[in-house]
Amino acid sequence: MRVRVRLFAGLREQAGWSRREVDAATVADIWPQLGLGMEPHGLLYAVNHEYAPRDRALAEGDEVALIPPVSGGAFLLSEEPLSLDRVVDEVRDDEAGAIATFTGTARRHSRDRTVVRLEYEAYEGMAERVMAELAEELKRRHDVVAIAIHHRVGVVGVGEPSVVIAVSSRHRAAALAACKEAIDTLKETVPLWKKEVYEGGEEWLGRGS
């Protein structure tokens, strides 16, 4: 089967390309054809915007994305500066007695190095879908009214927000718990990648960073 392959973040830079067509019958047939050496630990695959096991059979025209270990209502990817007021407005509700928020910002120093800027890359379409699925799971687990998540893509300067989250609920305990779980889970599951650009170097960071 002729399928489309997409690479992101460090894999894209290593390969020197982001999109290519290959012949493959299953997901497991993809990596050996790419000529990129050993398969990275923690690599995941998505077929047509859904995570897929290696034994997943492929159909003509499928899109297979290789997902390096990932870093992170309304779910938005934006190249423009983020607004905390906007995400709060998106979760306001007369039934809510509390709104909890989280803002993640780019810091000047990381791993004993001076950070110049951050660069974020996302698998558009799938990232928003996984954020929406995360929100639905949080609504099942907590007494949540609404959730909004906005995340930057592209270049983020030091001191600028890279992610803002708002959660509304009837009581503050649920809002605070769901907000914390939202950022922790986002970093593990959503296909977003962060590059830290330092004075004199740069590094793609993996899951949980």
Read off the CATH number of the domain in which 200 is found: 3.90.1170.40
Kindly state whether residues 94 and 178 are assigned to the same domain: yes
For the chain, how many structural domains are there in total? 2
Q: Is the predicted pLDDT of residue 197 greater than 60, yes or no?
A: yes
Domain hosting residue 11, numbered range: 2-67
Structure-derived torsion over alpha carbons of residues 92, 95, 98, 99, reported in degrees to the nearest 10: -20
Distance CA 39, CA 49 (A): 21
Q: Which of 15, 18, 27 is nearest to 64 (CA)?
A: 27
Kindly state whether residues 50 and 137 are assigned to the same domain: no
**C-beta separation of 122 from 154 below 8 A:** no
- Look at residues 49, 67, 85 and tell me which one is the last residue of a structural domain: 67
Global pTM?
0.73
Please calculate the CA angle 69-72-78 and round it to the nearest 5 degrees: 115
Measured CA to CA in angstroms, residue 154 lies from 46, 56, 168 at distances of: 22, 32, 28
| Residue range 77-89, pLDDT digits in tens | 888 899 899 889 8
Kindly state whether residues 95 and 196 are assigned to the same domain: yes
Give the chain as a DSSP string: -EEEEE--HHHHHHHT-SEEEEE-SBGGGTGGGT--SSPPTT-EEEETTEEE-TT-B--TT-EEEEEPPP---EEEEESSPP-HHHHHHHH--TT-SEEEEEEEE--SEETTEEEEEEEEEE-TTHHHHHHHHHHHHHHHHS-EEEEEEEEE-EEEETTSEEEEEEEEESSHHHHHHHHHHHHHHHHHHS-EEEEEEETTEEEEE-TT-
Average of pLDDT values for 107-125?
Answer: 93
- Look at residues 34, 67, 100 and tell me which one is the last residue of a structural domain: 67
Distance CA 170, CA 130 (A): 25
Q: Is the predicted pLDDT of residue 191 greater than 80, yes or no?
A: yes
The predicted structure's pLDDT at residue 74: 75
Q: Is the predicted pLDDT of residue 207 greater than 60, yes or no?
A: no
The predicted structure's pLDDT at residue 97: 96
- Look at residues 21, 38, 67 and tell me which one is the last residue of a structural domain: 67
Q: Is the predicted pLDDT of residue 71 greater than 70, yes or no?
A: no
| Residue range 154-180, pLDDT digits in tens | 999 999 999 999 999 999 999 999 999
